[in-house]
Structure 1
């Protein structure tokens, strides 16, 4: 690429950036047309999805995990104690 091509490209970018009117994107045009007929309702800031259900306490999960580990340790100890040497 020669130096003159780079200068022409720079000129074109400056010309395009300096345009008085910029066309909206296709998505913006689509939403504007849709909202003209059926405007959206108010939304809270950063609305999340609807809650799925009540969340369990983290303590309940901790008790379940530690209880399971304790049962496994006791079962393995009992099996080793009962195993003939």
Structure 2
């Protein structure tokens, strides 16, 4: 691209950014039309504790699973390195 094309493009971007009225996106228009007829109900910021996750697992169970996987990978890598030394 030439320098003149860059200047024209920059001018177009400044012109577009400086527009007084900016049209909303298609999704915003679709949601506005849908919500005009059927407004959405209130949604809490955070979910209820009884609905969080898949089941009632304690956090320590998830921690134990992750640490067990990390330990298994460390042992596996050590075994592979030990076998490769001979």
Within a 5 Å distance, the mapping from 1:4-83 to structure 2 comes to 4-47=4-47, 50-51=51-52, 52-56=54-58, 58=60
1:3-38 Cα deviation digits (max 9, x unpaired): 111111110000000001111111111110110111
Aligned CA RMSD, in angstroms, stands at 2.5
Scaled by the length of structure 1, what TM-score is found? 0.57
Shift in CA distance, 46/58, structure 1 to aligned 2, threshold 3 Å? closer
Gapped regions of structure 1 (runs ≥ 5): 63-85
Give the number of equivalent residue pairs: 60
Scaled by the length of structure 2, what TM-score is found? 0.57
Bigger radius of gyration, 1 or 2? 1
Post-superposition, which runs of at least 4 consecutive aligned residues in structure 1 deviate over 2 A?
50-59
